[in-house]
Structure 1
Amino acid sequence: MLVFILNAGSSSLKYQLMNPENSEVLASGLCERIGIDGRLVHEANDKKIKEEISMPTHKEAIEIVLNCLTNGENKVINNIDEISSIGHRVVHGGEYFSKSVIIDDDVLSKLEKLIPLAPLHNPAHIVGIKICRELMPTKPNVAVFDTAFHQTMPASSYMYAVPYADYKDHGVRKYGFHGTSHYYVSNEASKLLNKENTKVIVCHLGNGSSICAVQDGKSIDTSMGLTPLEGLMMGTRSGDLDPAVISYLMQKKEMSAEQLVNYLNKESGLLGVSGISSDLREIIEASAKGDERAMLSIDMKCNRIKKYICSYAGMLGGVDAICFTAGIGENADIIREKVCSGLEFMGIKLDKEKNINRMDGNREINHDDSRTKIFIIPTNEELVIAKDTYELTKA
């Protein structure tokens, strides 16, 4: 079985063609600037092609991708009939979905009802789903939700301290995101620990970042909330702040609510504090040259990660493993070192040599006498999507 994995954004489209039975990726790529001018990056057969190509809508983008898969020197299948099913990454499943589901008209209707909770993401996912149903009408489609893994959180974790009617009437609660990644990494950690009853903290650190407390394979709390804006300081997102800052800035800067939400999502975080970039690599480089705001940005980011780790260790009643994943978590040794520094009282002791040793795959970077394991585990959300799609549609 071959699964076509799709992640549709407002002007982009990420994809993979994977065999979930052996985890082989036959092709992968990215369509960018859909509706503007169009750019394709396609990898297959150990070759990468980049092409400027018109993509007026997502339909043309998907047609171009399917053509790349079935034609030319880099083709990997003879025709689209070799694709067994399509797995879609969907950001928000609300309280409707606690696991992946085969998409039918009822599922689509519920996704449309959830648009107010994810106005930037769910509309694009719905477009991608509808196009795939049109272009490949005999192929089953599966939705795999970023929020689903966090549906095991107790009410004490997901409720906000606002009038209960706002939860019942408007769905105001914590939903959490990056669930597919947190599920994959925590499951890999349990394998490395070689035990079933585990207490794991997963730090998914990329341009968007979140932390999750996982007990016995289930999410019991996570840092992102109603939207991905809550929690850690990120590339351009502010993360946690006093809610009164919102009305204060609206008055001082004469901003509308929409402008302020954009300000906190796209102009804040590492970019806003450093004044340099949202890319941590550039900030680390500036910090090494003595830039004070770059150093401040790094310290702020690490302090907030550390706060969540300590908080979740308390909720879990101890911790078996701290896991670092995603672009920053897997590659920024200075961040891992700063986060773990000072946590020796919790049994968290980093081995500095192991930490800076670059290796592929899962690896352990704690000191030999550390009571808590520290793992770097590269995430693989696409594999989770492919396997869920396979399991639901193989019959």
Structure 2
Amino acid sequence: MSDSILVVNAGSSSIKFKLFRIVGADLVPLLSGGMNGIGAAPAFTVKDGSGAVLETRRFAAGEIPDGLAAQHHLADWFTRHRAGESIVAVGHRVVHGGPDFSAPVLVDDAVLRTLETFIPLAPLHQLGNLDPIRVLRLRRPDLPQIACFDTAFHRGHPELSDRFALPRSLYDEGLRRYGFHGLSYEYVAGRLRDLSPETADGRVVVAHLGSGASLCALKEGRSEETTMGFTALDGLPMGTRCGALDPGAVLHLIEQKGMTPSEVGHMLYHESGLLGLSGLSSDVRTLLASDRAEAGMAVAFFCRRVAQAAAALAVTLGGLDAFVFTAGIGENAPEIRRRIIADLGLTGLILSNDANRSGVARLDAAGSRAQIWVIPTDEERMIARHTLRLLGQTAAGSSA
């Protein structure tokens, strides 16, 4: 039985996995799947390496009440199907590495304790990211587990990009712009280098547009600045998150409206963004299909904010050589791409409407001042690569 690496990407209401067979320095997908709707209407799906469905099952809400129950179900499934026998390491997406971790790390007791201190910095994600690590440490304490951080790719930022206009003492304590979606940006930067090395060495803005959304300015493949900051609440409006907000509005909600901090937090994370703007849905597909004025306004708001942020990042880079769309909306919503590029007309970007509708990777038309790309992201493969590399280093260290 060939060795394999399991990748776990757990969130607040879902858990995804991919199993890769190690073939020399390559990684071949074997299985993928996960559980969505945890605590509401859970659905579990497993697919083979080609994407064919092997198993699907729906649960009553009470059967899988939380993420911990979902993780135990997934572990039980691997045990029953003997799919875990070949696993030599597990890589985990962990949203926040804080000021301590700038690269993937082998998890031990001390690392886990440190990561737990970052839960307040990413309350929607961090706890869910860490729970599978705890479950596996109980079941397979011998199995190496690697934490891969969404913040790590941005850790090389200059201080100018990391700072808030707050007292320096707070920056020294760790109150700074960390940035997120780093695993996605790292993968896309690598794919762009495969597709167009000269472009990858230039000035590139990548738009990771999904239920969570952000932009990243890349220079020579490295992150220079990004729209998310101290938490994953900042920057662009998202599915249910507000994005950039006047801090005075938060003070108003607490001091004048009498809302508690937890009530404000719940609203900003769960009731804002596209859902709050439209009063209809957090899903761009639903909004595009609706004839309600509120839905149209929400889409227009989203596209304009993306364009404004992209123009600002072009200032950071001193120009723009390419604009890249990725993630669920970026990869699959031609109308959103069209509107964003139209709002970026000042930058000289020109979209080929035929290419935009056809599903090809390169979308810019003749005369465009910069290239336009769609590059599907693969955070799980990026995590598997980091896990394989760190596993090799650990093995080499043990044999030395």
TM-score by length of 2: 0.89
Is 2:175 aligned against 1:172? yes
Deviations 1:76-100 (A, max 9, x none): xx45231111001101001111111
Is 2:51 aligned against 1:51? no
- Structure-2 residue corresponding to 1:210: 214
- Structure-1 residue corresponding to 2:19: 17
- Structure-2 residue corresponding to 1:162: 166
Contact 1:20 1:386 in 2 (8 A): no
| CA spacing shift, 1:271–1:79, aligned 2, 3 Å | closer
How far apart, CA to CA, are the structure 1 residues paired with 2:36 and 2:345?
45
Q: Alignment partner for residue 289 of structure 2, among 285, 290, 301?
A: 285
How far apart, CA to CA, are the structure 1 residues paired with 2:202 and 2:132?
37
CA RMSD in angstroms comes to 2.2
Range with greater deviation from structure 2 (102-111 or 144-153): 102-111
- Structure-1 residue corresponding to 2:6: 4
Contact 1:189 1:321 in 2 (8 A): no
Q: Which runs of 5+ in 2 are unaligned?
A: 396-400
Once the two structures are TM-superposed, the CA of residue 238 in structure 1 deviates from its matched residue by 1.3
How far apart, CA to CA, are the structure 1 residues paired with 2:67 and 2:280?
33
Is 2:191 aligned against 1:188? yes
Contact 1:4 1:87 in 2 (8 A): yes
Q: Residue 124 of structure 2 aligns to which amino acid in structure 1?
A: L
Once the two structures are TM-superposed, the CA of residue 223 in structure 1 deviates from its matched residue by 0.5
Is 2:339 aligned against 1:338? yes
| CA spacing shift, 1:264–1:56, aligned 2, 3 Å | closer
Once the two structures are TM-superposed, the CA of residue 61 in structure 1 deviates from its matched residue by 3.7
How far apart, CA to CA, are the structure 1 residues paired with 2:33 and 2:168?
44
Once the two structures are TM-superposed, the CA of residue 28 in structure 1 deviates from its matched residue by 1.5
- Structure-2 residue corresponding to 1:228: 232
* SS of residue matched to 1:120: coil
Q: Alignment partner for residue 146 of structure 2, among 142, 146, 165?
A: 142
Aligned sequence identity (%)? 38
Q: Which runs of 5+ in 1 are unaligned?
A: none
Q: Residue 217 of structure 1 aligns to which amino acid in structure 2?
A: G
- Structure-2 residue corresponding to 1:197: 201
How far apart, CA to CA, are the structure 1 residues paired with 2:324 and 2:145?
32
* SS of residue matched to 1:249: helix
- Structure-2 residue corresponding to 1:347: 348
Deviations 1:26-51 (A, max 9, x none): 11222346577854222237224222
Once the two structures are TM-superposed, the CA of residue 167 in structure 1 deviates from its matched residue by 2.0
Q: Alignment partner for residue 117 of structure 2, among 113, 122, 131?
A: 113
Deviations 1:138-190 (A, max 9, x none): 22110000111010111111110111112223x21111111100111122123
How far apart, CA to CA, are the structure 2 residues paired with 1:43 and 1:259?
39
* SS of residue matched to 1:152: coil
Q: Residue 92 of structure 1 aligns to which amino acid in structure 2?
A: H
Deviations 1:85-123 (A, max 9, x none): 100110100111111111122211211222222233222
Contact 2:229 2:235 in 1 (8 A): yes
Is 2:77 aligned against 1:68? yes
| CA spacing shift, 1:61–1:238, aligned 2, 3 Å | closer
Contact 1:177 1:228 in 2 (8 A): yes
Once the two structures are TM-superposed, the CA of residue 317 in structure 1 deviates from its matched residue by 1.1
How far apart, CA to CA, are the structure 1 residues paired with 2:71 and 2:142?
16
Q: Alignment partner for residue 364 of structure 1, among 353, 362, 385?
A: 362
- Structure-1 residue corresponding to 2:398: none
How far apart, CA to CA, are the structure 1 residues paired with 2:242 and 2:7?
31
Q: Alignment partner for residue 100 of structure 1, among 97, 104, 123?
A: 104
Once the two structures are TM-superposed, the CA of residue 280 in structure 1 deviates from its matched residue by 0.8
Q: Alignment partner for residue 237 of structure 1, among 241, 254, 262?
A: 241
Contact 1:181 1:379 in 2 (8 A): yes
How far apart, CA to CA, are the structure 2 residues paired with 1:354 and 1:250?
48
| CA spacing shift, 1:181–1:37, aligned 2, 3 Å | closer
Contact 1:98 1:151 in 2 (8 A): yes
Deviations 1:239-264 (A, max 9, x none): 11211111223344321121112111
Deviations 1:317-359 (A, max 9, x none): 1122100011111111111111111544533111111111135
TM-score by length of 1: 0.90
- Structure-2 residue corresponding to 1:132: 136
Once the two structures are TM-superposed, the CA of residue 67 in structure 1 deviates from its matched residue by 4.3
Q: Residue 145 of structure 1 aligns to which amino acid in structure 2?
A: F
Contact 2:324 2:372 in 1 (8 A): yes
Is 2:91 aligned against 1:87? yes
How far apart, CA to CA, are the structure 1 residues paired with 2:83 and 2:276?
48
Q: Residue 373 of structure 1 aligns to which amino acid in structure 2?
A: Q
How far apart, CA to CA, are the structure 1 residues paired with 2:333 and 2:42?
32
Contact 2:72 2:135 in 1 (8 A): no
- Structure-2 residue corresponding to 1:385: 383
Contact 2:307 2:343 in 1 (8 A): no
* SS of residue matched to 1:177: coil
- Structure-1 residue corresponding to 2:373: 375
Range with greater deviation from structure 2 (332-341 or 110-119): 110-119
Q: Residue 347 of structure 1 aligns to which amino acid in structure 2?
A: G
How far apart, CA to CA, are the structure 2 residues paired with 1:163 and 1:269?
29
| CA spacing shift, 1:225–1:103, aligned 2, 3 Å | same
Q: Residue 88 of structure 2 aligns to which amino acid in structure 1?
A: S
| CA spacing shift, 1:36–1:295, aligned 2, 3 Å | closer
Range with greater deviation from structure 2 (41-50 or 94-103): 41-50
Q: Residue 26 of structure 1 aligns to which amino acid in structure 2?
A: L
| CA spacing shift, 1:301–1:342, aligned 2, 3 Å | closer
Contact 1:189 1:200 in 2 (8 A): no
